[in-house]
Amino acid sequence: MAFKIRTGYEGDLNLFKTPQSVASYGVLLLLLCAAPFVLGSYFLSQIVFVLIYTIVGIGLVLLSGYAGQTSIGHAAFLAIGAYTAANAAKFGVPIYIYLPAAGLLTGLVGWLVGLPALRLHGIYLAIATFAFALIVEEILARWETVTNGNEGMMVKPASVFGERLGEWGLYYLCIGVTVFVIVIAVNVIRSPTGRAFLALRDSETAARSMGVDSARYKTFAFALSAGMTGLAGVLYAHKLSFISPEMFTLALSIEFVMIIIIGGIASLRGAALGAVFMIMVDPLLVFVKDKLPALIGAITGSAMAQDKASVLLAAPGVKSLIFGLIIIFFIIYEPMGLDGRWMKIKTWFKAFPFYKPATFRRQKMYLKSERGR
Amino acid sequence: MIDFVQQTISGIAVGCVYGLIALGFVLIYKATEVVNFAQGELMMLGAFLSYTFIASLGLNYWLGFAACVICMAVLGMAMERLVVRPILGYPQFSIVMATIGLGMVLRALAGMFWGTDDLRIETPFSKGVVHMGPLVISADNLSIIVATALLCVILYSFFRFTRMGVAMQAVSQNMLAAYYMGIPVKKMFAAIWAISAMVATTAGILLAPITFIHANLGFLGLKAFPAAVLGGFTSIPGALAGGVIIGIVETLSGFYLPEGFKDIAAYVVLLAVLLLRPQGLFGGAALKKV
């Protein structure tokens, strides 16, 4: 790992590590705020999805990257947030009430899900969260008085003080929630809570013997992560304006985990990078499906190859094939994700010409058994 | 009452399939402490291969069965070599996600290669029905139950009595120490993935006449998790017993409870077991030295 040399404790307490980062994040925020004046509605809605995925990604980074707990059921939390929003909007509740309420409710559910986590770890936890997600999915389909079952339900546009929140309003709301979530995450990480998370992740036994209350911090990590996902769920519901149970499947949960795998598992910046990547996959795929067969036809000079390629690319499994390959590729070749790559590039320039790949080598553990912990 | 017994028997048959998939999880977990989320997909591929060998190429059922098992053993080894081995020693989460990715790739490829239609194979058992008093058991179901029991005995004795089986257990407990003791750890890994793929294939081929063969057959693997957890995740008879229990619970709740409970019964059982007895019904509490 590359280490930053600290000369005082103030450096650890600052929200931003360097003056440059204040400037660069400020510019990014300004650009995002200015975007609606320049970009069309397609790009705007893509950015909204990126922001929503970023929020979920940050929740997962806190949970998996920092607290070391696994979850492959986050779609369920998103669903709870989304359905809360849909129902609250149905009764005309203003968004500034049900947005925090949905976050709190989902956080509460997350806390409940975290309770089994006290006794479970690693693989068992993954299985438990995914069982939870499947049960939630089934409840959504069956509890027709609230969720309208498999037919799905329309989500009324959000209103603030009687005013309808339009496309721009939702966009700025997403920016606001994202900034809020990021600030919370940064504050949690640099507080004693965040240090406790890290201690629990690296060795629960050691952390407990140092007096870290593992039960409290594990459930808190779950509640925090779920609450953030619930906020994202509210935005998701309003963005799509129609929700149904088959949107919140295991596949979505896996997409969420992909965000942090692609971005880098213990990095907030990675969550944003991963979200951008995940949202870009779809348009890129459309582009490739559009152009690649013609290119193959032009290179091989045969119409048959062109037809074959277009048929293959149109097959329904292409997206999941690509997703699967992306997961495997990142885990094997870039385990620190896009953020890790960014740090490597930065270090390469900083240390030029003395960059050593070993700086970032991860330690492999062949001794550790997760059994009977 | 007769309904109950009849339902229970069909539950046992379904449960045996879950048990066989769970057996695959358990084998790999027991030997390498990796959980293979692509186990269901391996089963699906086995079923598709049996279609190719038996229905398309017209091989004899048993010959086709053997061919499938051999092909899948090779595939299992290839998967281990290409995907799992490079990330051994990394946190378990990475390996779990890698196998999920692998499952997605296999499912997509199967969908592209064999199409999305439901396929079907003929087996020597397809027509037969066994009468036991007032009970009726189809030979398909019976073949699953018998084959599962047989496999279970074979695998149990393999781990208990053969040098290789014991070596695999040593690898699972401490890879490094096993390596120092002269156990070829890498070969053990390849072997266990091959065995696990073979077990999955068997499950797939046995299941093929009952449910149709399609690319989403792999999702059945998700039902095998409750089975494996119930059995303690390291116990071979446990996986089977867990599978049977899950199968029975599922069938009975489909029969007696309102619609919708059938699909989640297995997961409710799973959560209950994880909460009340995380080591499973058959897993012993193991202590770990820090």
Q: Is residue A188 part of a domain?
A: yes
In which band, very low, low, confident or very high, does the pLDDT at A1 lie, cut at 50, 70 and 90?
very low
Q: What local confidence, expressed as pLDDT, does residue A372 receive?
A: 42
Question: In the numeric block, which tokens belong to residue A129?
Answer: 């969260």
Q: Please give the pLDDT value at position A224.
A: 95
| Cβ-defined contact of A119 to B275 (cutoff 8 Å) | yes
| Residues of A in Cβ contact (< 8 Å) with B225 | 127, 130-131
Q: Is residue A193 in a domain?
A: yes
> Measured in whole angstroms, how far is the alpha carbon of residue A187 from the centre of its chain?
18
Model pLDDT for residues B34-89, shown as the tens digit of each residue: 888 889 899 999 989 988 888 888 788 888 889 999 999 999 999 999 988 888 87
How far is B39 from B198, CA to CA, in rounded Å? 11
At residue A367, the pLDDT reads 55
Please name the member of B104, B106, B229 whose beta carbon is closest to the beta carbon of A124: B229
Residue B129 dihedral angles phi and psi, to the nearest 5°: -140, 135
At A370 the pLDDT is: 52
What's the rounded mean pLDDT across residues A11-21?
A: 76
Cross-strand pairs, B130: B137
- Domain span holding position A173: 38-276
Burial of B161 per CB tally in 10 Å (0-12, 13-18, 19+)? exposed
State the CB neighbour count (10 A cutoff) for residue B135: 12
Q: How many residues does chain B have?
A: 290
Quick check: A204 and A121 in contact, CB under 8 A? Answer: yes
Yes or no, beta carbons of A70 and B288 under 8 Å apart: no
The token duo for A357 is 């790949």
Radius of gyration of chain A, Cα coordinates, nearest whole angstrom: 22
Q: Is B132 exposed, middle or buried (0-12, 13-18, 19+ CB in 10 A)?
A: exposed
d(CA B258, CA B270): 20
CB pairs under 8 A between A and B: 154
Q: From start to end of A28-164, where are the E strands?
A: 153-154, 159-160, 163-164
Taking CB atoms and an 8 Å cutoff, what residues of chain A touch B278? 119-120, 124
Token pair recorded at residue B90: 């990394």
The pLDDT score that the predictor gives to residue B130 is 74
Mutate to test the interface with B, among A327, A334, A363, A364 (most CBs of B within 10 A): A327
For residues B197 and B40, is the Cβ–Cβ distance under 8 A? no
Q: What is the DSSP letter of A86?
A: H
Residues A341 and A67: their CA atoms lie apart, in Å, by 23
**Secondary structure of residue A198 in the 3-state scheme:** helix
In this structure, what token pair is assigned to residue A187?
């504050």
User: Which of B106, B189, B274 is most worth mutating to test chain A (most A CB atoms within 10 A of its CB)?
Assistant: B274
Name the strand (E) or helix (H) holding A243: strand A242-243
Determine whether the interchain pair B97/A331 forms a contact, defined as Cβ–Cβ distance below 8 Å: yes
Distance CA A197, CA B167 (A): 37
Inside any domain, residue A190: yes
pLDDT in tens, A176-194: 999 999 999 999 998 899 9
Q: For tokens 């070596």, name the residue.
A: B167
Contact (CB<8Å) B90/A335: yes
Instruction: Give the pLDDT confidence score for residue A369 in this predicted structure.
Output: 53
- Ranked by mean pLDDT, the top range of A63-77, A294-308, B56-70 is A63-77
- Length of chain A in terms of residues written: 373
CB B241, CB B231: distance < 8 Å = yes
Residue of A nearest to B233 (CA): A124
Mutate: best of B97, B169, B180, partner A, most A CBs <10 A: B97
Q: What is the pLDDT of residues A197-217, one digit of tens each?
A: 999 888 888 888 889 988 899
A323 located within any domain: no
- For residue B289, the model assigns a pLDDT of 38
pLDDT at B20 > cutoff 80: yes
For residue A108, what are the contacts with CB-CB under 8 A and spacing of at least 6? A223
- Map out the domains of chain B as residue ranges: 2-218
Whether ipTM exceeds 0.95:
no
* Interchain pair A321, B98: CB under 8 A: no
pLDDT tens for B86-103 read: 888 787 788 888 999 999
Identify the residue whose tokens are 């885990």. A331
Q: Check CB contact under 8 Å for B260 and A205.
A: no
DSSP string, chain B: -HHHHHHHHHHHHHHHHHHHHHHHHHHHHHHHS---TTHHHHHHHHHHHHIIIIIIS---HHHHHHHHHHHHHHHHHHHIIIIIGGGTTS-HHHHHHHHHHHHHHHHHHHHHHH-SS-B----TTSS-EEEETTEEEEHHHHHHHHHHHHHHHHHHHHHHHSHHHHHHHHHHH-HHHHHHTT--HHHHHHHHHHHHHHHHHHHHHHHTTTSPB-GGGGGHHHHHHHHHHHTTSS-HHHHHHHHHHHHHHHHHHHHHSPTTHHHHHHHHHHHHHHHH-TTTTTPPP-----
Task: Give the separation between CA B95 and CA A109, rounded to whole angstroms.
Answer: 28
Of A99 and B285, the one with more pLDDT: A99
Residue A348 CA to residue A179 CA, distance in Å, equals 30
Tally the domains of chain A. Answer: 1
The three-class DSSP label of residue A40 is coil
Q: Chain B closest CA to A115's CA: distance in Å?
A: 9
Reduced to 3 states, what is the DSSP secondary structure of residue A362? coil
Query: Closest to B94 (Cβ–Cβ): which among A127, A254, A335?
Result: A335
Question: A344 vs chain B: nearest CA distance in angstroms?
Answer: 20
In 3-state terms chain A splits into helix, strand, coil percentages (rounded to 5) of: 75, 0, 20
Contact at CB, A138 and B264, closer than 8 angstroms: yes
Highest mean pLDDT among A103-112, B223-232, B239-248: A103-112
pLDDT single digits (tens) B190-206: 999 999 999 999 888 88
B129-132 and B135-138 strand pairing: antiparallel
Give the one of A116, A131, A325 whose C-beta lies nearest to B267's C-beta.
A131
Q: Show which of residues 260-279 on chain A sit within 8 Å of chain B, judged by CB atoms.
A: 261, 265
d(CA A57, CA A49): 12
Contact yes or no for A323 and B215 at CB 8 A:
no
Say if A139 falls within a structural domain.
Answer: yes
Q: What is the mean pLDDT of residues A139-156?
A: 85
Q: Sort out which chain B residues have CB atoms less than 8 A from A64's CB and list them.
A: 93
Closest-CA distance of chain A to residue B137, Å: 31
Sign of CA dihedral B133, B136, B139, B145: negative
Interface mutation vs chain A, best among B28, B29, B83, B93, most A CBs within 10 Å: B93
| A370/B92 CB distance under 8 A | yes
